[in-house]
Structure 1
Amino acid sequence: MTPDNAPAYGLWGLVVVNSLVFIIFAFSFARPQTRRDWRSFSAFSAFLVALFTEMYGFPLTIYLLLPWLTRHFPGVDFLSHDAGHLFETVTGIQVNPHFGALHIASDLLIVLGFMLLASAWDGLYKAQRAHTLATAGPYAKVRHPQYVGFVIIMFGFLLQWPTIVTLILFPILVGMYVHLARVEEHESIAAFGDTYRRYVKEVPSFFPRFRHLSGSPDKVGRERHG
């Protein structure tokens, strides 16, 4: 937490460090290889840069909303770091935002997202080496666990520090991931035909069917997908 006598913004070193840490962390799990992989990873990286720029650099959202915020919440120092957690501020929750329910939920979602990315990459890497369809681990639950992992991480950050830019970017990126997933599936159907169609019938795209959690789909070959 930023000390009371320290600046809350203009900390561009923290912007750079935090952006690099999370981008490199995500890269180590996602391992982009194709042009499509790099496109999705670059979009996720842009989300992180926009987030940390407002969190530590320039609070664009605060400045744009300042007339409304000061009118409805007098006495709040909106240029302080704690007030930047807008969900807690506007709801009037009297708690240190770093230890509040939303922040804890945010942290859990971010960790869950990175764990999903790591597990998906491990299953995909093993399948690629064996030249088979990735059906182990999270690929037994959803067909595109890496995209799901990216979305979970972004949603976790939104709970912690919502901004106008990231709120706009979030649905755009979700739509982009859905589109990329559809393109990948068309390519996989063209390459594997009925074997991939059976996998599609057995495993949902993004939301697991809980009745399938104890089972796993047929082990059939497949191209790399997110």
Structure 2
Amino acid sequence: MTTETWLKTGIDLAWKFVAVYWLWHAWGNKATLRTEGWLTQSLLYWAPLVVAFVLLGPGEWFGHSWLREGIVPHVVPVFAVALLLVVAGATLACWSRHLLGRNWSSVVQVKREHELVESGPYRWIRHPIYTGLLLMFAGSALDVGDVRGILAVGIVLVSFGWKLRAEERMMQATFGDRYLRYRQRTAALIPGVW
């Protein structure tokens, strides 16, 4: 097996680990008090993720279209950086998911006896799961090395932007001034940037 193959396999394994971790820990969450409608969830959150995953799929799916225009060289150092980003993102996302515990939801919701988690990465970032997933998508886009990778990351970023704004409104309504103070001392996704 070549070094390139090992690195690409590592990227695939990181994504599979996150998927299994998410499915395993999806059971036993607290009961829901408030949630967004299914149409909003489907159009603004799930559909963009599906499109992004398709864009990062096998290049053969896109033939010789402009989506396959290479923008990053397909060399081992690039694949190594891609793996580093994906593993860092997977680590951050899983750690953050673990800290949320039974408060977690895949959609914008408030749970019964919802708790505001402010430990671990939540000390600096209000939405570290999104940050972790964005790192994973960025690493996968780098691995793909085509225009379609940038498009996939852009789609996910816009989707997460909508979702985090909705979450922030719901958390503000739930926790009031406490959330406002938390918001003032933390970044939404990237400390010092956003």
- Superposition TM-score, scaled by structure 2 size: 0.68
Residue 51 (structure 1) aligns with: 56
Residue 117 (structure 1) aligns with: 93
Residue 6 (structure 2) aligns with: none
Residue 158 (structure 2) aligns with: 175
* Residue correspondences, number: 165
Structure 1 pair 112–142 and aligned structure 2 pair: CA distance change class (3 A): same
Structure 1 pair 146–52 and aligned structure 2 pair: CA distance change class (3 A): same
Residue 176 (structure 2) aligns with: 193
For residues 150 and 37 of structure 1, what CA distance do their matches in structure 2 show? 18
1:104-146 CA distance string (max 9 Å, x none): 1100000001101110101111667984211111111200011
For residues 144 and 188 of structure 1, what CA distance do their matches in structure 2 show? 12
1:11-26 counterparts in 2 under 5 A? 24-26=16-18
Preserved CA contact (<8 Å) 2:125 2:187 = yes
1:28 maps to 2:33: no
1:47-72 CA distance string (max 9 Å, x none): 23332221xx4353xx236xxx8xxx
Structure 1 pair 48–21 and aligned structure 2 pair: CA distance change class (3 A): farther
Structure 1 pair 116–51 and aligned structure 2 pair: CA distance change class (3 A): same
1:147 maps to 2:148: no
Structure 1 pair 102–119 and aligned structure 2 pair: CA distance change class (3 A): same
Structure 1 pair 45–28 and aligned structure 2 pair: CA distance change class (3 A): farther
Task: Give the SS at the match of 1:88.
Answer: coil
Structure 1 pair 183–153 and aligned structure 2 pair: CA distance change class (3 A): same
1:134-193 CA distance string (max 9 Å, x none): 111111120001111111111111111123333223212201101110111011111111
For residues 25 and 46 of structure 1, what CA distance do their matches in structure 2 show? 21
- Superposition TM-score, scaled by structure 1 size: 0.59
Q: In percent, how many aligned pairs have the same letter?
A: 23
Preserved CA contact (<8 Å) 1:117 1:149 = yes
Q: Which moved more, 1:178-187 or 1:35-44?
A: 35-44
Q: Name structure 1 gaps, 5 residues minimum.
A: 3-17, 70-84, 90-96, 210-226
Higher relative contact order (CA 8 A, sep 6+): 2
Q: 1:202 aligns with which of 185, 188, 191?
A: 185
Structure 1 pair 116–157 and aligned structure 2 pair: CA distance change class (3 A): same
**Displacement of 1:86 after TM fit?**
5.5
